[in-house]
């Protein structure tokens, strides 16, 4: 833990896991915990032992399988039940036996929730808080308290909501996190309430949901009002609209407010960590996420590019490398010479003014026909190479291709493709069968070329997107196909456009293979 004066507390494994469609195994949770520890967070909430068998298993395995360098594990649970001693409550026992050095208790701070949801009295709720905190402290565990529905409770009965804080603090809770459980607060009003809570003398934290789109802003406002403990989830995961995005919160506080929260080298690894966690969760990453999204420092407008060519900081609020990200230049019909020159430089080319002008005109002409190069960097690089060379250069020439799709009497669909190519002085005819026309073409091209270019065995098609560009023409509409391919070193995207979806797919596929060969070190003839 970097400094106990200010806490970064992650709740991805518990609150974040409540996101619709997100289902983590114990192995997933252990893997995410290691990534979060690599970022340098102070606390990782592992789940609710005793209430959830998976979470109980997580804490059992964490004892031997997690070697945390920065973080401490926190076990989440509730205060004792009404009318039961904390020492006798089985769920409190599970927290005690979890092995976690920290326990985070959720407690009601909204009077109506106490009476309607817990079905007990306001005084008994305070006793439940006092007894549970005192018991766990006596057992040697540090205790944080999540004051659930605090802001709604403060609106309903401010005196009682603040009494919950005082009771928890007096019983030994070292932090009371104020929870905007419904996510309905706005920064100015939230800051006023936090200021009142800090005035009680309790150490205050903040836990925000994003239902108004203000979770990060609310968290920052709370810190400004005196909170010294922030909670959030990796990539903003969570129920409904999600939780405060912990990566955004940490980057804002450290880079904009001067807080020393995580080691600088860990902050510089934040983008990789954010994307590594998306691989574990199998949730598509938000490309526009602040700081860590692949588009967070992507520039498209020609005016921006002209300024960036002079000084990148003119259109960037930080150096992307500070969070492990990169500036990207997007090439589109909005591009000017500066955009193309910067993109060429990014790819390792110093373009002459004449070549830049020619390339700009070519890009604009192709995009007017439906191509998109901002989403297909590999296609743009091939276009750039052809423009620099003054001719179209490829590793193979296509004589012809055809695809047959047959539906058998038994209802089975079979796709067969034949390609005729010329490569390295040979004429090659090859066929391939697949589960669709594009898959069949892909297999036919590989069958034709893998003998000459064995590296193609490492190339695989990992994504295929189709978009109809002119819907007024029905099945005769212009179609754009984007193909994403990968090998052991990375990914690349290529684009094809045509009225015939198979032709558009072939264009993107041919470019994908060509770019893969370039990546493998083969020069185009």
Mean pLDDT on 404-416: 88
Q: How many CA atoms lie within 13 A of 198 on its CB side?
A: 16
Query: Quick check: 488 pLDDT over 70?
Result: yes
* Other beta carbons within 10 Å of 407: 9
Mean pLDDT of 482-500: 88
443's CB contacts (< 8 A; 6+ apart) are: 417, 432, 433, 434
522 pLDDT tier (thresholds 50, 70, 90) = confident
Task: Answer yes or no: are the C-beta atoms of 32 and 68 closer than 8 Å.
Answer: no
Q: Is 307 helix (H, G, I), strand (E, B) or coil?
A: helix
Between 299 and 435, residue with greater pLDDT: 435
Q: How confident is the model at residue 311 (pLDDT cuts 50, 70, 90)?
A: low
Closest CA relative to residue 136, chosen from 200, 180, 79, 70 = 79
What is the pTM (predicted TM-score) of this model? 0.70
pLDDT digits (tens, 9 = 90+) for 174-208: 999 999 999 999 999 999 999 999 999 999 999 99
Lowest mean pLDDT among 202-206, 266-270, 342-346: 342-346
Between 153 and 356, the higher pLDDT residue = 153
User: Range with the lowest mean pLDDT among 35-44, 49-58, 116-125, 362-371?
Assistant: 362-371
DSSP string, 122-133: HHHHHHHHHHHH
Span of 9-23, 433-447, 469-483 with lowest mean pLDDT: 469-483
> In the prediction, which pLDDT does 388 show?
79
Yes or no: say if 336 and 305 are a contact pair by the CB < 8 Å rule: yes
What's the pLDDT at 1?
Answer: 45
412 — phi, psi (to 5°)? Answer: -80, 135
Between residues 236 and 287, the one the model is more confident about = 236
Strands 175-180 and 413-423: unpaired
- Dihedral of alpha carbons 48, 70, 216, 237, sign: negative
pLDDT of the residue at 385: 84
Q: What percent of the chain is modeled with pLDDT above 90? A: 66
Of the listed ranges 254-258, 428-432, 434-438, the one predicted with least confidence: 434-438
Residue 247 has pLDDT above 60, yes or no: yes
Residue 5 buriedness (CB in 10 A; 0-12 / 13-18 / 19+): exposed
Whether the Cβ atoms of residue 59 and residue 26 lie closer than 8 Å to each other: no
Strand 491-498, strand 397-407: pairing: unpaired
Confirm if 133 and 81 have CB atoms less than 8 A apart: no
- Residue 337 confidence class, pLDDT cut points 50, 70, 90: low
Q: Which string of DSSP letters, residue by residue, matches 217-275?
A: HHHHHHHHTT--EEEEBGGG--STT-B-BHHHHHHIIIIIS----S-HHHHTTHHHHHH
Res 313: pLDDT: 64
pLDDT the model gives residue 2: 55
Tell me if 274 sits within 8 A of 247, measured CB to CB. yes
Comparison of pLDDT for 313 and 224, the residue scoring more: 224
CB neighbours (10 Å) of residue 466?
12
**CA 263 to CA 256: how far, in whole Å?**
15
Which range, of 99-113, 359-373, 490-504, averages the lowest pLDDT? 359-373
In this prediction, residue 351 has a pLDDT band, given cuts at 50, 70 and 90, of confident
d(CA 450, CA 428): 11
Nearest to 436 by CA among 457, 406, 415: 415
Query: Residue 332: its pLDDT value, please?
Result: 47
State the pLDDT at residue 320. Answer: 87
Give the count of beta carbons closer than 10 Å to the beta carbon of residue 83. 9
Average pLDDT over residues 482-503: 89
What percent of the chain is predicted at pLDDT more than 70?
Answer: 91
Mean pLDDT of the chain: 88
Residues of the chain by 3-state class (helix, strand, coil), percent to 5: 45, 20, 35
* Strand locations in 37-152 (E): 43-47, 72-78, 102-108, 142-148
Q: What is the pLDDT of residue 305?
A: 47
What domains can you pick out in the chain, each with its CATH number? Answer: 7-281 (3.20.20.70), 298-368 (no CATH), 397-519 (3.30.160.270)
Region of poorest pLDDT, from 82-96, 269-283, 363-377: 363-377
Predicted pLDDT of residue 476: 61
As a whole number of angstroms, the distance between CA 479 and CA 497 comes to 6
User: What local confidence, expressed as pLDDT, does residue 471 receive?
Assistant: 53
Q: Per-residue pLDDT for 525 more than 70?
A: no
What secondary structure does DSSP assign to 423-489, as a single string? ETTEEEEEEEEESSHHHHHHHHHHHHHTTT-GGGGG-EEEEEEEEES-GGGGGGS-EEEEEEEE-SS
Residue 257 structure tokens: 């407010």
| Structure-token match 């010294």, residue found | 228
Report helix, strand or coil for 10.
strand
The closest of 116, 119, 107, 117 to 149, measured between CA atoms, is 107
């Amino acid at each position: 833990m970097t400094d106990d004066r200010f806490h970064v507390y992650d709740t991805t494994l518990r609150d974040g896991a409540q996101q619709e469609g997100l289902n983590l195994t114990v192995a997933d949770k252990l893997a995410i915990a290691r990534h979060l520890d690599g970022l340098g967070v102070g606390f990782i909430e592992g789940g609710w032992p005793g209430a959830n068998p998976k979470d109980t298993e997580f804490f059992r395995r964490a004892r031997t399988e997690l070697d945390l360098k920065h973080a401490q594990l926190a076990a989440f649970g509730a205060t004792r039940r009404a009318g039961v001693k904390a020492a006798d409550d089985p769920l409190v026992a599970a927290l005690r036996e979890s092995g976690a050095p920290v326990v985070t208790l959720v407690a009601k701070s909204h009077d109506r929730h106490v009476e309607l949801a817990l079905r007990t009295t306001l005084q008994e709720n305070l006793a439940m808080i006092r007894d549970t905190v005192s018991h766990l402290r006596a057992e040697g565990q540090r205790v944080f308290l999540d004051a659930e529905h605090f802001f709604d409770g403060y609106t309903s009965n401010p005196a009682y909501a603040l009494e919950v804080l005082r009771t928890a603090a007096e019983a030994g809770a070292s932090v009371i996190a104020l929870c905007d459980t419904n996510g309905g607060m706005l920064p100015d009003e939230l800051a006023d309430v936090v200021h009142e809570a800090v005035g009680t003398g309790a150490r205050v934290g903040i836990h925000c949901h994003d239902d108004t789109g203000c979770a990060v802003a609310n968290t920052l406002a709370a810190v400004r009002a005196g909170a010294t403990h922030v909670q959030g989830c990796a990539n903003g995961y969570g129920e409904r609209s999600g939780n405060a995005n912990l990566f955004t919160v940490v980057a804002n506080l450290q880079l904009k407010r001067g807080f020393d929260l995580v080691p600088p080298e860990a902050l510089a690894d934040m983008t990789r960590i954010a994307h590594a966690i998306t691989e574990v969760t199998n949730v598509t990453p938000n490309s526009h996420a602040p700081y860590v999204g692949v588009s967070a420092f992507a520039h498209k407008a020609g005016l921006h590019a002209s300024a960036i060519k002079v000084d990148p900081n003119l259109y960037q609020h930080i150096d992307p490398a500070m969070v492990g990200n990169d500036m990207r230049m997007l090439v589109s019909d909005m591009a000017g010479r500066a955009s193309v020159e910067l993109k060429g430089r990014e790819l390792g080319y110093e373009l002459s003014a004449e070549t830049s002008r020619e390339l700009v005109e070519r890009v604009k002409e192709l995009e007017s026909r439906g191509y998109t190069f901002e989403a297909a960097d590999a296609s743009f690089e091939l276009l750039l190479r052809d423009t620099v060379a003054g001719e179209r250069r490829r590793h193979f020439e296509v004589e012809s291709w055809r695809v047959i799709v047959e539906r058998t009497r038994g209802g089975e669909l079979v796709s067969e493709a034949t390609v005729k190519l010329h490569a390295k002085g040979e004429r090659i005819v090859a066929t391939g069968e697949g589960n669709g026309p594009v898959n069949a073409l892909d297999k036919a091209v590989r069958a034709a070329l893998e003998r000459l270019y064995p590296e193609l065995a490492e190339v695989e098609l990992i994504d295929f997107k189709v978009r109809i560009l002119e819907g007024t023409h029905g099945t005769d509409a212009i179609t754009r196909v984007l193909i994403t391919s990968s090998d052991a070193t990375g990914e690349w995207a290529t684009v094809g456009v045509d009225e015939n979806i198979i032709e558009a797919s072939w264009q993107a596929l041919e470019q994908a293979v060509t770019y893969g060969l370039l990546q493998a070190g083969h020069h185009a003839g």
